Structures are given as structure tokens and as C-alpha cells.
Amino acid sequence: MAEAVTDTGKAGGGEKPRSVRVVLFALMIAMLLAMLDNMIIGTAMPTIVGELGGLEHLSWVVTAYTLATAASTPIWGKVGDMYGRKGAFLTSIVVFLIGSALSGMAQDMGQLIGFRAVQGLGAGGLMVGVMAIIGDLIPPRERGKYQGMMAGVMAFAMILGPLVGGTITDNWGWRWSFYINLPLGVVALIAVTTVLHLPKKTENRSWRRIDFLGAALLTVGITSIVLVTTWGGTEYAWGSAMIMELAAIGVAALVGFVFWETRAAEPVMPLHIFRSRNFSLMSMIGFITGFVMFGAVLFLPLYQQSVQGASATNSGLLLLPMLGAMLAVSMVAGRVTTGTGRYKVFPVVGSVLMTVGLFLLAQMDTGTSRLTSGLFMAVLGAGMGCLMQITMLVAQNSVEMKDMGVASSSTTLFRTLGSSFGVAIMGALFNNRVQDVMAQRAGDLGSKVTEQSAQLDAASLAKLPAPAREAYQYAVSAGTHSAFLLGAGVAVLALVAAVFVKEVPLKGAGADPKPEDADVAGSGGAVEDAGPKAVAEAV
């Protein structure tokens, strides 16, 4: 445990360190819940689609979740700032568990998509709650270590998720991929309810002050733009009336959102936080990290199952090089940041490694060995490990305490949007490439095989004639090449943003920020001074 927490515990009573550990344990479980679900679904998806049908709606199982998460994230952050973090956090856990139970009982693809949206509404508050509570309790210098731990939990969930998803799918059935969330959620609920006692907000307790119009405009804008990226070139031609109308609605809603946020009494996303250069750059890097990470987690198991012949369980195991590297590097980055108070090296190095890793993965073909692909994945994982916790740490350090919730929710929102755009855009590129290659190499049979979906489950792949199966394996490798090459190009933008990050030593690093360091003016000291007191009051 951190020295600050331990000292506070000694000052306030011998039981406090143990209580803080219980709080952090509950936060880690909540983080695990938020990350574990999508990782499980990634490996279970072929079996789910095989049983429920609806191959043409495959992407919506993920898209509905991420859209609901993105839409609800700013509301959870603002509600926590205005009315208290604990109540909002507990409510988000309950909503997530309800969505998990309903998803496990879904009888067709439409129900599953709807229930996944309910899950997403709850998930929007889980990560925001975790990060904002840590921001309330832990001073900036110590926060690097604890957010490194949380990033480690995220990486651990990404390791555990494919393993759990594959094992459950192969042995118990895909419905238990959702039911597994319930016991973890109950433990988190009990721990948070009994141990975490944050001060209640007493001022401005009027629901009329919540920026519902701003949230609605943001939701419409996000939904419309993601639908454009999801449907464009697949369901509808890029120049079709539907796509053009959605694009116009999305742009108009986002412009209206920005206009309204300058006038709202309690804006759901206060625009003044973007005046900080570091906050804006971290939002951009977080978006790109989400874009790359979830695209990789979606397409790597597909490549391993279709081209390298792995089972659902083994494809999860084969992700270990990427996720293990992410886990190790994120923990080291958190420790180093806590020890030195400096952080700029991590976004720069992380962006370089992420770009190189994606470029290497784009070189995989039907003859690539598992060892080679594992080394490529490790490079990508190391890059993402450098970036996972730094984006939230720097973003929180760039705002005042009163904006801790909206800063956490905005950063989480951009990462969630990145994942949604990554899955949609990389998925559309992958599908088009697979269908084109199948038509070229297998003629009418190839077109018939992929007319419903470019992603086949293991059973469907096994039933194909040998020539069609070989053509499909080649097509999948060509599709992943295009998807990862696009990812590498996007990752270059993260490197450009990282170069312009202004390194401001974190409070407690032995040097106070200079007056010209406006990124943390009014925040570093406030957080540092409030940290031990907040810990003492919280447990």
C-alpha cells in the first residue's frame, strides 16, 4: 500500500489501512467487470452467432454495448460530481448486473443486442466511478502507482477474458459467459456499500440541473457517427441517402452539443477542461488506444481460429504475449511514474511500440507461426501498457478537483469511442477485404460462403470444401493485414500527440509546478492537499 494511505491509517486508527485495501479491492473487481465482459464475448461470439443466428447483426452485439457505454459515461461522471460518487457507482453496478442476467437469457439476436445495451449503460459508470474515486482519494504522486494497478487489472481482465470465454463456451455454453459477472458484482456491491463512506454532496441537489439536453445531443451525435462507420460500405453504399442523412444528423448534433455546453448551468462535459493542452492530447491518445486495442482483441482471435487452427480456448491462450506484456509494462510504468513524478517518456515510447507492433501484425499471412505472431503481439502489448494508465493520470492532473468526475468520464468516453470506431471501421475494412478475396479465389462459391458474414465460426469453417477453406484462410489473413495496417496508420497520430505533451512534475515529486504550468494550476496542490484527508474521511 502507499505510504500516504498507511500514514493516514495510523493517524486515524489502526483499522483504516485494512479498510482502504477493501475499497481498492472492490474497485478492482468493478474494473474487472467493466473489462471482462467484452473480452469474454470476443471468443464466445462465433458460438453465440451459430446458435442464435443473425450473422448480419454480429457487429451490433459489440456496437450496442459500446454505444450505450459511450452515451451514459458523461452522465455518470457528472452525476458523481454533483450528487456523490458512491451512489452513482453502486447504481451503475446494479444496472450492469441486470444487463448481464438478461443477456444470458436472450433467445434471439435482437434480444441479445438490446440486453447488451443495458449492460453498456451500467458499464459506462463502472470505469468512471473507479477512476474518479481513486482521483478523490489518492494524491497525484501516488496516483500513478494505483492507476498502474488498475491498468494492470484491465490487462489481467483481457488475459482472463478470452480464457474464461473460451473455456465456458467449449464446456458450459455461451450463456454462462454473462452469468459469470453476477457473483463478482455482488462481492463488489457488498464491499463498496459497507466500507466506502465518501462525503455526501449537499449543494445543488436538483435533478433539473443535470444537462439532459447536452447528454441527448451528445448521444445522438455519437450514435449517428458510429452508425455511419458501421453501415457505410456494408449495409448501405457510402454515398447512399441513409449514410448521408446519418452523417448530417451526427455533425449537426455535435455542433449543437458544443454550442449548448457553453450555456448550460451544469454542462455534462464542461468545455473549459479542453483548454488544457495535456488534457486534450490525452483524450486524443486515449481515443487511439481504444481504437487499436479493441480492434486487435477482436481480430487476433479470429485470425488464430481461422488461419492458425486454434480452438476458442487456445485462441485466448495465444493472446497471452500481448496481454502479458501489457500487464507487466503498465505496472512498471505506474511504479516509475510514482517514483519520479515524470511521465512523458511513456506516451512517446508507447506510441512508437504500438505503431511498430501493428505494422508487424499486418505482415502475418497463412504461413506465420504462432511464435512469430506472439512476438509481434508482445510488441503491441508493451506499447499499450505504456499508455493505458498514463492517459487517465495526466488528464486528472490537468483539472481541478471539482471536475474530477467529468475529466474521468471524458477520458473514458474518448477511449470508448475509439473502441467503437475501431471495431466498426476495422471491421468494415476486414469484411470488404475478405469478401473481395473470396470472390477472387473461390468464385461463386466464395461469394456464397461470405454473403451473410465474413466471419465464420469453427463449425461452419470445418464444413467447407478444402479449396474453399484454403481460400477463406487466405482471405482472413488478407483482411487482418488491411485492418492492422490501418491501425498502424492511426497509431502514428498518437505518437504525434505524445511529442507535444507538456511534462509537468506531479505534486509530491520534489518540485512544485511552475506558475506557467497552467495545465495543473489549481489542481495539483488541491489534489495533494486533499488526498490524505479524503482517505481519512472515506473509510
Side chain identity at 386, as an amino acid letter?
C
Query: H-type helices in 53-139, by residue range?
Result: 58-83, 85-104, 109-137
Residue 34 Cα distances to 130, 154, 319, 515, angstroms? 10, 9, 19, 38
In whole angstroms, what is the distance from residue 521 CA to residue 159 CA? 38
> pLDDT at position 526, please?
37
Query: DSSP 3-state assignment of 232?
Result: strand
Does residue 88 contact residue 139 with C-beta atoms inside 8 Å? no
* Cβ count within 10 A of residue 448: 13
* Domain ranges across the chain: 18-197, 211-268, 269-505
> pLDDT at position 356, please?
95
Domains 18-197 and 269-505 share a fold: yes
Query: DSSP 3-state assignment of 78?
Result: helix
Closest of 453, 495, 490, 449 to residue 472, by C-alpha = 449
Tens of pLDDT along 156-183? 776 677 677 777 777 787 788 788 888 8
Please state, rounded to an integer, the average pLDDT across all residues of the chain.
Answer: 76
Does residue 403 contact residue 273 with C-beta atoms inside 8 Å? yes
Does residue 425 contact residue 59 with C-beta atoms inside 8 Å? no
Contacts of 241 (CB under 8 A, 6+ apart): none
Over range 345-373, report the average pLDDT: 90
What's the pTM?
0.76
Residue 362 Cα distances to 68, 307, 318, angstroms? 31, 14, 17
Q: Which region holds residue 108: left if phi is over 0, alpha if psi is between -120 and 50, else beta?
A: beta
Matching residue, cell 433467445: 107
Matching residue, cell 471482462: 36
pLDDT bracket for residue 456 (50, 70, 90): low
Residue 393 Cα distances to 338, 403, 475, 528, angstroms? 11, 14, 41, 14
CA 36 to chain centroid, in Å, comes to 11
Side chain identity at 461, as an amino acid letter?
L
Tens of pLDDT along 142-160? 766 676 677 667 767 766 7
Q: Percent of the chain having pLDDT more than 90? A: 13
Tens of pLDDT along 297-339? 778 877 887 787 776 556 557 778 887 888 888 888 877 887 7
CA 248 to chain centroid, in Å, comes to 27
Over range 222-231, report the average pLDDT: 77
**So what CATH class is 269-505?**
mainly alpha
Tens of pLDDT along 388-405? 778 888 888 787 777 777
> pLDDT at position 55, please?
62
The CATH architecture one would assign to domain 18-197 is: Up-down Bundle (1.20)
Residue 513 reports pLDDT greater than 60 = no
